[in-house]
Structure 1
Amino acid sequence: MMPTRGSAPEGSKSISSSVRRRMSGWVYKAECVTHKMSTASTTRASEYDKIVILKNPNSVRTNLWYLKPGFTAKPTFVSVTVPGVFESSNVEHEAYPHEITDVRGHEKLFSLDKSGFEFLQDAVPDEMIQHIRNSRDEEIENKYYPRVEELLKTHTGADRVFIFDHTVRKRIPEHAGDGRGLVGTMQPALRVHVDQAPSAGTGRVKRHLPDEAEKLLRGRVQIINVWRPLVGPIEDHPLAVADYRSVKPEDLVVTDLVYPGHTGETYSVLYNPEHRWYYKSRQQNDEVIMIKCFDSKTDRARVTPHTAIRDPTSPKNPRLRESIEIRALVFHTQERD
């Protein structure tokens, strides 16, 4: 059942020496490295601190896979699996049963700035969905990217949006459940994580827009993931999101994510029974989730732990999940802390 590979630090032994050199320093003795962000305003309690309590909610109970405590090395994932080359991680997870509340009918109680996520209606043509399902990157970038840019601008009030990547996920039961797959395939990630750590947030601006980075970083910068089903209604491995206001700073652990050409930082998450988790039952193709991955503004929700879940109410032979997520830098150049 454990959707991980390897252990720390012995897990590095199955990686070739040349690859290990490129990943130099990924296994080292370290104390638990957690984020330094406050999960509430440092000056006063506000509307952004109030956790939503639903009356008589519909919910499911299922296992969530959190980072296993007791590690002695900085947690590290490699981004793809290449047999004999990239196939190890020093990360171990363990399962904790948790209640996941269905937001259907209560979507407007949640927002990017309060909970860290938001559910929106946004229909797209079926032809576009099929292009995405066929992983036609040129069609995705030329036709879907502009649509998502406009959605982000309209909904957040941003004056600029820069999309830096996308991931199409298709569940293949025989592949690992940690989000990785063979080259060219990505699975739903059955582990609680956050897409970006703060260093990666500012680093993305410098990496993708180097000539403008200094100016852009003077204003408010966000990274937002726009997640959409491609075979709705979702019957298999829906996406669950945690309310930022229920997450403590010490729950988040900085984790390396190693790509062939560079290393970024994300967050792994330690279990806390106070976490409040939500999903949208039978989510359709025109129902998107905006997930905040980073925000330079410090008195709002700043990150959103999330994970795919095994839904105990799924039919016996569900249609296997397919989805797309767009990650974008979102700039509010006139907004200052």
Structure 2
Amino acid sequence: MPRFTHCHRLLRTSAVQTPRDVLTSLYYFRALDDRAPYQYVHDPPAGIAKENLGVQAYPVKIDDARGREIEFTLDNSGFQFITHVSEERQFDDEQCIRTTYYREIVELLKRATAAKRVHVFDHTIRTKQTEIGQRSPNRGPVERVHVDQTFDAALHRVRHELPDEADRLLQRRIRIVNVWRPIHHPVAHKPLAVSDWRSVDKEHDLVPVRLIYPDRESSSFSVRYNCAHRWYYLSNQTPDEVILIKCYDSAVDRARLAPHSAFVDSGSSPSAPHRHSIEVRCLVFDTE
């Protein structure tokens, strides 16, 4: 059986590591023209640019949460660090991911959030494209500050995934949580940084971006630079250490999301393996 512990257990088992803050740059939103930001997820029509999203690098300090894990929860900061030892170790079999690992994630989130129901709706494996031979092209780390869904897109996601139950489910609290972990080895290159919801200017910082699919539209948030943002990561994060990232919460009296981005850590050993990670996105409900 997979083993699950809360963040205070992680604090005890990781205390021997010395925290290491990182000075680096993160890529924030920059407008390229006067049009509303958009991005074609696949190929755009002939003569149309794939996107009009620009980015600009800003210097930031990313604090190491190692030894401070218990300070951060999904409801106060929008992210949480937990220990979870998975039965799945290779993540090279799509069917095993969608069965064994999805079941683990459902149980993990029910225990971490006290949810009554969890619905997994997708996952992404990220790695250097030449590193492993998956059937579909690998996607590399996203080096741009973003949030996976806008508030409107989160509600549409419920209707898209569970159309027959959406009216009832939307009467109660719903959340979208991204469960992110390294696989195969600890993270050295391109670790994941998360920003504390309490440091985000909700009226200014979040920029809706249209995501255009061949048969539908969705939207995500890009993020404007704000020197008040507080950033955190977990140094030498292992495959048994998971970050829960809130992407949406219908409750307005607590953290509703956490911007995040991969970043360059110049202190990483050049000989360390490239990052290999999996993220699983889930709808989390307070009702069955």
Match of 2:174 in 1: 221
Map of 1:266 onto structure 2 = 220
Equivalent residues of 2:32, 2:54 under 8 A apart = no
Runs of 4+ aligned structure 1 residues displaced above 4 Å come to 84-87
Cα displacement (A) at 1:257? 1.7
| Match in the other structure for 1:161 | 118
Q: What is the deviation of 1:87?
A: 7.7
Deviation at 1:318, TM superposition (A): 2.4
Report the alpha carbon displacement of residue 327 of structure 1 after superposing the two structures with TM. 0.3
**2:139 paired with 1:186:** yes
Show structure 2 runs of 5+ residues with no match.
Answer: 1-17
Kindly state the Cα deviation for residue 73 of structure 1 after the two structures are TM-superposed. 1.4
- Specify whether residues 103 and 296 from structure 1 end up closer, same or farther in structure 2 by C-alpha distance, changes over 3 A only: same
Per the alignment, do residues 259 and 70 of structure 1 end up closer, same or farther by CA in structure 2, a change over 3 Å counting?
closer
Match of 1:277 among 208, 217, 231: 231
SS at match of 1:141: helix
Q: Check whether the contact 2:121–2:282 (CA below 8 A) recurs between aligned residues.
A: yes
SS at match of 1:227: strand
| Residue aligned with 1:328, SS | strand
Q: Tell me, what secondary structure is at the counterpart of 1:260?
A: coil
What TM-score comes out, normalization by structure 1 length? 0.75
More strand by share: 2
- Alpha-carbon distance in 2 for matches of 1:318, 1:260: 39
Over the aligned positions, Cα root-mean-square deviation in angstroms equals 2.3
Q: Which of 89, 104, 112 in structure 2 is aligned with 1:147?
A: 104
**Which of 311, 317, 335 lines up with 2:265 in the alignment?**
311
| Deviation readout 1:224-277 (Å, 9 max, x if unpaired) | 000010132111100000000000021000011223332111000000000000
Question: How has the CA–CA distance of structure 1 residues 85 and 216 changed in structure 2, closer, same or farther, with 3 Å as cutoff?
Answer: farther
Structure 1 residues 1-337: aligned runs within 5 Å: 58-69=20-31, 71-80=33-42, 88-125=50-87, 128-130=88-90, 132=91, 134=92, 136-172=93-129, 184-249=137-202, 250-333=204-287
TM-score (norm 2): 0.87
Matched with 1:38 is none
The 3 A distance-change label for structure 1 pair 228 and 87 is farther
Q: Deviations over 1:291-330 (max 9, x none)?
A: 0000000001001100000011111232011100000000
Q: 1:85 to 1:117 in 2, by over 3 A?
A: farther
User: In the aligned structure 1, how far is the partner of 2:264 from the partner of 2:154?
Assistant: 30
Q: May I ask how many residue pairs the two structures share in their alignment?
A: 266
SS at 2:89's partner residue? helix
Counterpart of 2:89, as a letter, is I
Q: Equivalent residue for 1:17?
A: none
Amino acid aligned to 2:212: V
Instruction: Please give the alpha-carbon distance, in whole angstroms, between the structure 2 residues aligned to 1:208 and 1:73.
Output: 30
